[in-house]
Amino acid sequence: MPENRIASRPLTTVRQWHTASYTHEQSACVEVSEGPVTGIRDSKNRDLGALFFPADEWAAFVRAARGERL
């Protein structure tokens, strides 16, 4: 599996992105593209690219952020 990295713009434009459920219009906005490799990016700075993680690593991060145990 390749290392986590910032992707170039062409890789981020062909994916289906949606705004994270905790995003509010007046706060920092995060967009997510889910799949075998999950991408995350700042919706206000899309030109900066995105970070990509294997789906199982992203799921573990979300569980930890919610305070859930494995």
CA 69 – CA 9 distance, rounded (Å): 35
The pLDDT of residue 56 is above 60: yes
**Each residue of 37-50: pLDDT tens digit?**
999 998 888 889 99
Q: Is the pTM of this model over 0.75?
A: no
Segments making up each domain of the chain, as ranges: 9-66
* 8 touches 48 (CB < 8 A): no
The pLDDT of residue 4 is above 70: no
Query: Which residues make beta-bridge pairs with 42?
Result: 30
Rounded to the nearest angstrom, the gap between the alpha carbon of residue 62 and the centroid of all alpha carbons in its chain is 11
Q: Higher model confidence: residue 20 or residue 23?
A: 20
CA 37 – CA 60 distance, rounded (Å): 13
Rounded to the nearest angstrom, the gap between the alpha carbon of residue 24 and the centroid of all alpha carbons in its chain is 16
